[in-house]
Amino acid sequence: MRREPFDFEKQLKKQKEFYEAFVSWTRERVNVIGITEADKDDQKKGIDFWAIAIGENSVPVEVKCDFRLHETGNIAVETVANANITNWQPGWLSKLYNSHLLVIIEPEAGDFHILDSQAFYWRVVEYMNMYKAFSARNKNKETGEEWWGMGVLVPVHTLTHVVVDKGNIYHLTSGNRMLMTKRHRDAVEEDHAEKTGSISG
């Protein structure tokens, strides 16, 4: 059965909401100094945000929402974008060399996976012929313009070796490396100060 085309504007609106939620989650991490949105030139290169962690340089981050990951267990990796009768462009996979971290968000559950961009890229390239191919039709309802995206479906359970961290945008204390939020840390320090009679400056 042929699927209805994705509503491009609706997708963008939803993605923005989840991007903002991820930024809020990131700003709560104890070891993160800050995260800022990339400018338009960087966004064209596949960089959505710049994040700075304690003791590290600014890191380029790409964020993707996969609205069917919770159903299929697969990340839809786009290799061809904006394809129509006369034109096409490389998909977001080709731009991963510009970022250090790739964040895949599952909007249904709010879960996300933070992956090493370079390791993920080479994994997909190496096993490209083994993955199931997909095509997706997109439509701008305002203009009526239609185009296609194409790529491969990568099972998320095969990527454990490239996972840097995990979390949930609805639960700020989730995550492997960054369990404690700033609010939690402050509360713990305050409780400790009350019990010991010491005050941290």
CATH at 60: 3.40.1350
pLDDT score at 110 = 85
Contact 153, 74 (CB under 8 A): yes
In a domain, 30, yes or no: yes
In a domain, 32, yes or no: yes
In a domain, 177, yes or no: yes
Instruction: Name the least confident of 20-24, 169-173, 180-184.
Output: 180-184
Q: Check whether 23 has a pLDDT greater than 80.
A: yes
Tokens of 183: 């609010």
- How many independent structural domains does the chain possess? 1
In a domain, 189, yes or no: yes
Q: Check whether 179 has a pLDDT greater than 50.
A: no
Contact 153, 72 (CB under 8 A): yes
Banded model confidence at residue 128, pLDDT cuts 50, 70, 90 = very high
Banded model confidence at residue 120, pLDDT cuts 50, 70, 90 = very high
What tens digit of pLDDT does each residue of 59-85 get? 999 999 998 898 999 999 999 887 776
In a domain, 87, yes or no: no
In a domain, 84, yes or no: no
pLDDT score at 6 = 54
What tens digit of pLDDT does each residue of 26-63 get? 888 878 889 999 999 999 999 999 999 888 889 999 99
pLDDT score at 162 = 94
Banded model confidence at residue 201, pLDDT cuts 50, 70, 90 = very low
In a domain, 42, yes or no: yes
Mean pLDDT of 137-149: 76
In a domain, 63, yes or no: yes
pTM greater than 0.85 (yes/no): no
Residue range(s) defining the domain that contains residue 181: 6-73+94-128+156-196
